[in-house]
Amino acid sequence: MNRSRVTRSNLWVLWIVAILVSIVAVAQPAIATQSPTQLYLVGVGPGDPDLITLRAIETIKRADVIFCMESLKDRFAELMQDKQVVHGYWRLFPFYGQDLDDLEGAQRAEAEKLAVRRNEFIAMVRQAIEDGKTVAIVDSGDPLIYGPWAWTMEEFEDLQPVVVPGVSAFNAGNAALRRGITNSDLTKSVILTAADWEGKTDTIDRLSTHQTTMVLFTMRTEFKEFIRKLAINYPADTPLAVVKYAGYADREQVIQATVGTILEKVGQDDLPFEYMIYVGDFLTFRYRKED
């Protein structure tokens, strides 16, 4: 009789323990159960620090060595304190994987300079991993959308790196516009693109023949040049918006115009590095049509 009561109460205790264990397991970030990697590429969002994800916070907390731009070190000073933070190795992707013998003159000199910096960075990452450290390469926005560190996934393939996705400037820009980016009477597609270069097959004027929604990541390209290209195939009355500082509550700014009128409202000097161009009639779309 007594024994059966003990057994039943033991069962209750076991039940409660099992429930608690599963609650704790669910609350743990998923990274704990992923591959035994020591190398992470972490997106921390495009603007204010509160756009970082819980997974990114956990990953940075676990890291011993962090590579990032100086501005991110400042933005996440508290989170990165006590870490070894290395900056100054941003934008190492140009010419990566290219045979230097195929290049000449100034281009070759530039490629050689970059290769030296890149090799320094690669050696530092590999040394840290060999020393048993966890390394996080931290980037703004989402690291795989026009991300300058995407090449590291190939370079360190053998280390099975894990990517922690981030909120992209694209997401923050959509939020700033307060419009469904896929809502339109004419199209349900969105093209993300960037400046043209010699040899790019999907040039802005070609893409715009589809008359679909387009979002341009600008990366210091001349604003007038973007508008000139958009105007080739988008009618002048196509809605266009410029979003500056998406995701920064105090600085975010939206300028609404059309392909034909935007240059009257915005000049190159009004634009920071962090701005995007949105084109398409989603900008004026309304569910309730006016009579």
147 touches ligand SAM (CB under 6 A)? yes
Number of residues in contact with ligand SAM under rule CB under 6 A: 24
Binding mask 107-146 for ligand SAM (x = CB under 6 A): ---------------------------------xxx--xx
Q: Which stretch binds ligand SAM (CB under 6 A): 150-158, 183-191, 216-224, 283-291?
A: 216-224
Instruction: Specify the 3-state DSSP secondary structure of 242.
Output: strand
Q: Report DSSP letters for 160-215, one per residue.
A: --EEE----HHHHHHHHHTS-TT--SS---EEEEE---TT-SS-HHHHGGG--EEE
Query: Segment 164-193, which members bind ligand SAM (CB under 6 A)?
Result: 168-169, 172-173
Exactly one of 219, 232, 236, 249 binds ligand SAM (CB under 6 A); that residue is 219
Q: Which stretch binds ligand SAM (CB under 6 A): 34-42, 184-192, 253-261, 272-280?
A: 272-280
Instruction: List C-alpha distances in Å: 157 to 90, 140, 165.
Output: 19, 22, 18
- Residue 66 or 138: which CB sits closer to ligand SAM? 138
- Residue 38 or 43: which CB sits closer to ligand SAM? 43
From the CB of 142, what's the least distance to ligand SAM, in Å? 4
218 touches ligand SAM (CB under 6 A)? yes
In angstroms, the CA 32 to CA 100 distance is 41
From the number of C-beta atoms within 10 Å of its C-beta (0-12, 13-18, 19+), residue 246 rates as: buried
Exactly one of 161, 239, 247, 280 binds ligand SAM (CB under 6 A); that residue is 247
3-state SS, 112-168, equals: HHHHHHHHHHHHHHHHHHHCCCCEEEEECECCCCCCCCCCHHHHCHHHCCEEECCCC
Residue 162 forms beta bridges with which residues? 40
Exactly one of 40, 67, 121, 217 binds ligand SAM (CB under 6 A); that residue is 217
- Residue 278 or 282: which CB sits closer to ligand SAM? 278
Kindly give, in sequence order, each residue whose CB lies less than 8 Å from that of residue 88, ignoring residues fewer than 6 positions away: 70
280 touches ligand SAM (CB under 6 A)? no
From the CB of 168, what's the least distance to ligand SAM, in Å? 3
Encoded tokens for 243:
């979003």
Exactly one of 40, 95, 234, 245 binds ligand SAM (CB under 6 A); that residue is 245
- Residue 56 or 145: which CB sits closer to ligand SAM? 145
- Residue 92 or 169: which CB sits closer to ligand SAM? 169
Encoded tokens for 173:
């820009």
From the CB of 90, what's the least distance to ligand SAM, in Å? 10
Which own/partner pairs from 160-163 qualify as long-range (CB within 8 Å, at least 24 positions apart)? 160/35, 160/36, 160/37, 160/39, 161/37, 161/39, 161/40, 161/41, 162/31, 162/34, 162/35, 162/37, 162/39, 162/40, 162/41, 163/40, 163/41, 163/42, 163/43
From the CB of 47, what's the least distance to ligand SAM, in Å? 5
276 touches ligand SAM (CB under 6 A)? yes
Residues that bind ligand SAM (CB under 6 A): 46-47, 140-142, 145-148, 168-169, 172-173, 217-219, 243, 245-247, 273-276
